[in-house]
Chain A
Amino acid sequence: MSKFDVINSYAPRIDCPDKATGKAIFTDDLSKPGMLYGAMLQSPHAHAKILSIDTSKAKALEGVKAVITSKETGSVKYGVSPARYDETMFATDKVRYVGDEIAAVAATSLEIALNAVALIQVEYEVLPAVLTVEDAMKEGAPQLHEAFTNNLCAEVHQEFGNVEEGFKQCDIIKTTTMKNKRQDGAFIEMQACIAEYDRRGTLTLTTSTQVPHYVQRTVAMVLGMDVGKVRVIKPYVGAGFGIKAAANHQELACCFLARMLKKPVKMNYTREQVFMYGRARHQFSHTITTGAKKDGTLVALKHECYLDGGAYTSFGIATVYYTGSLLAGPYKLPNMSYDGYRVYNNKPACGAQRGHGAVIARAVFEQQMDMIAEEIGMDPLELRIKNMMNTGDTTCNDLNMSSFGMSECIEAVRDGSGWDKKKGNMPKGKGIGMACGFFVSGAGFPIYRSDTFHGTVIVKLTEDGGTALVYTASAEIGQGSDTAFAMIVGEALGIPLENVRLASGDTDMGVDLGAYSSRQTLMTGHAAKEAGEHAKQQVLEVLAEQLDTPLEDMDIKNGCIEFKNQTPDFSALRTRYIKEHRGWTDNPESEKLTFKEASRIAFLEKGSIVGTGKYRPHWLGGKFKGAAVGTSPAYGCSAQVAEVTVDMETGQITIDNIVDAHDCGKAINRNSVEGQMQGSISMGIGETMHEEVIFNDKGQVLNSDLAEYKIVTAMDMPPVKAIVVESDEPNGPYGAKEVGEGAIMPTIPAILNAVYDATGVRMNELPLTPERVYTAIQAYKERSNA
């Protein structure tokens, strides 16, 4: 039995009745009176100088209200990290990828807007383009940004301990080179937005975003407005996975047009534009060398990585750091070095996607763990247990594991999968593999340097008593955060979930950095808990006075007031409450004084009862350059076992099942925890098996639709056993921490290790399309015959 009344249960989500009935409103479901439609002109060239832009024909088209280019909008630079603002709303002098934005139109219909876009005449001088990391780094390669020579967007060089010395102590040293392919978020809702500007100078942007707060700041900065004059509202969002975690050009153009025309403007990406915008997982090329002793003790790791960044930085600076820093766990590893390079080229920018920066590095390293285990004749699972960090340990790069149920996760998947019986005994063509992973539970620092709170929450009790209203600027994008915060407030106040109502995703409601880095449950959760407790405190203060009972002797639980000692005579309060509600039929009769009565009385004494909460992590991490990236108040961790069948003749892989165990601290809502685990696995499977954005030699995306960009369908998803492992995270609200991203970490390597088990072949390139697997099997056969 849980010691909690509301959280730590399996609760149906509060947003789901509306979502199940089609009532939930997403951005494109909205329309505003007098609304105009916007469309953008995007570059057809991967790299070109813009010699001239002629918008006169477009402007002349009937129904066109405005055509804007950088001439109208100016060229304020923006981006994600202030250290690398390298984008503008519209290209000024040159375009750097197919899709780079050049102009936007607002018109009375979408059809007219699109026709007008086609009438904008741009004279280009086509420049040679570089489309790969290798080409971009060649001497004399065309340069994308003047300020960044050799197309080097960012580089990182770090060493912790002494890697060379470490290798000298090693008996086994394994080097692996591996790369993945660019990903797409492939959320089902394409980005859409509506901007309105009122006559008092307030701009309201309703948009499909994960981060209303950052969008608000970017819009204000680029349009030169006070932050207080910009309001960003996030309706329901059809998921984001990191791609919607920054302002996009469409949002900026839409705001500019609305302010200019004083009319609502709506804009939508098509699916093709979603692909052109990119911003999903980078293509990483890793070379990792790991050294261990004969007994399996890990000693040193040397890591080099090149990131195919695309035309702009986006999240790239954080990405290139994350790629290195998150290899320091979950195993004890005293020596680690990292050299990371993020390289510009003429493709859409890459950004952050579930498991930011760390997923492929993890996939390489977890395979090396298996290689080492094989070489020393140890069960790969035992090797992992042997090297596992313990609760309270700190990595060589100063990441502290304040709670760490990793060993419990491993034991859970060992049992859940029947590992001990199966490993080493799989029939031909079948294999079993495992892997571990961990991830931050919220970035330790905001994206811009600031002492800001990371989240604030307001809880207001309704004046009639009984209902708690929660206001948070956090972003429900499908993960279930609204329900989690409503549950946390219910728990903190001592009232059932059905008496909590919640509104979120509006910058007017406070500050919240939004849905990225798996931060909301822990961070916004803290603020929600504090706000609930603050409201409770105020109600109890009034009761203490009215009932002449010490506050410490009272509590609220399950919607009733609990008295530690003797229940005082509260009949006077009850009579007063009933008089207030003359004519109402639901007069309280319970033996206990209800929260409803108490909060009504509190209102009568003090006016509106408003509780506030806030959260900011304590200072985290070391002192070296880049020490901030990877820090977090807590880390979630997980282990997975995958079983596969490989068709040795065609290279087709079938994933037979996956067993997953995840330590999410205390689960707020088990329903959502399992959902995040299953969803992460499906994304991990897609990335392992068939997802890749493919470009032609002109830099155009060849598979910019969901037919050719292949995410997992209902037919591909294997049975998944999701085991929730709980620890008590001291830095989390009620002991809670992340599950949204850590759960994807082991998926890719678990499958890769299983494929090796089935075939004897190590794959060094993702995704594992039948052709790649077939080719690798053939090469292996030839090698074995030779």
Chain B
Amino acid sequence: MLLPKFEFYEPTSIQEAIDLKKKYRGKAKLMAGGTDLLVHLKKKLVTADHLISLAKIKELSQVQQAGDTLKIGTCVTMSQLSKSAVIQEKFGAIKTASDNLGTHLIRNRATLGGNVCNASPAGEALPSLIVYQAQVRLQGPEGKRKIPVESFFKGPGKTDIHEGEILVGFQLPLPEKNYGAHYLQLGKRKSSEINVVNVAAFVEINPADQTVKTARIALGSVAATPIRSFHAEDVLTNKAPGEAVFYEAGEAARHKDCQPIDDFRGTAAYRRAMIGVLTKRTLETACKLAMAQ
């Protein structure tokens, strides 16, 4: 399979990348790990006369803790995330998601920013980013802006990125105490799966009475974008965690929050049912982790 003809650039600073993007307006594509983009180019799903690689911009490949926030550069790969101490310690649901994406080979190239910009409804890391309240950091000719990742997705393959803008990274509040989070996905085989459904949950427990203080649940593969499951969250809030509550939350997610469609990977009915099961199960683990703290 051949790639179409294009010119290739490897800027070393964000500004340089923004300038290039501006210069080749509309005809240029940004590339991070290339695991989506090169496949799409080969399959002729997209075209580009100019490819701008972000891989040589050092600051985009760093995971940095600053005070009570964590900054993740857009070009940080799944392997990097999986090995990062702070991710392992404080962001278990991101660690699990990054271990689940693709294969051991793909994970060495695939980046967090690429996963987000690709904006697949089934995207591996997206539900976890949502439940940790990540903000996306964007930079363009008009300057910088920050928006919640939750409102960044506009549809399959569509995001709120403006022409000329670059996603430079993510900012996540460091979770404090008494919290737990988990991520689960369901596919047909045990590796290299395109998700049929995927769910992340974040729970904070009120230490005084061991009830749920805050719950955030995000569902993947059941709408045009990953979505929050507000009804399920409501079920949990202020309740003591337990099997019955988890089940009820799962049922709320299943019946009230998701809007899946039929496609060749699964029917809407099955996806709905599985949202129920996976929501229940992620909550079980997230709460167990939260109570253990």
Contacts and interface: CB of A to CB of B under 8 A. Distances in A.
Given A114-B2, A649-B277, A650-B277, A715 B270 contact: no
B136 to A, nearest CB: 27
Interface stretch (B52-60, B85-93, B119-127, B184-192): B184-192
Contacts of B205: none
B187 to A, nearest CB: 8
A128 to B, nearest CB: 23
Contacts of A649: 277
Contacts of A702: 264
B2 A110 contact: yes
Interface stretch (A399-407, A589-597, A612-620, A767-775): A767-775
Contacts of A774: 270, 273-274
Interface string B261-279: 0001111001001100110
B30 interface: no
Nearest to A695: B264
Interface in B188-227: 188-192, 194, 196
A707 B273 CA distance: 24
A707 B194 contact: yes
A696 B262 CA distance: 13
Interface string A755-786: 00000000000000111001100000000000
B1 interface: yes
Contacts of A573: none
A707 B277 contact: no
Contacts of A110: 2
Consensus secondary structure, chain A interface: loop
Contacts of A715: 189-191
A164 interface: no
Contacts of B186: 650, 652, 770
A111 B190 contact: no
B270 A713 contact: no
Determine the interface band of chain A, counting residues with CB < 8 A from chain B.
20 to 34
Contacts of B273: 774
A689 B277 CA distance: 21
A775 B270 contact: yes
A127 interface: no
Interface residues of B, number: 19
Contacts of B2: 110-111, 114
Interface string B30-54: 0000000000000000000000000
B220 to A, nearest CB: 16
Contacts of B265: 708
B191 A770 contact: no
Contacts of A694: 264
A58 B133 CA distance: 55
Nearest to B186: A650
A716 interface: yes
A708 B266 CA distance: 12
B194 A716 contact: no
A712 interface: yes
Interface centre among B190, B266, B273, B278 (most CB of A within 10 A): B190
B267 A771 contact: yes
A8 B188 CA distance: 40
Given A713-B190, A716-B189, 8 more contacts: A110-B2, A690-B189, A694-B264, A708-B194, A715-B191, A716-B191, A770-B188, A770-B270
16 contacts: A110-B2, A270-B1, A652-B186, A689-B188, A689-B189, A690-B188, A696-B264, A702-B264, A703-B264, A708-B194, A716-B191, A769-B188, A770-B186, A770-B270, A771-B196, A771-B266
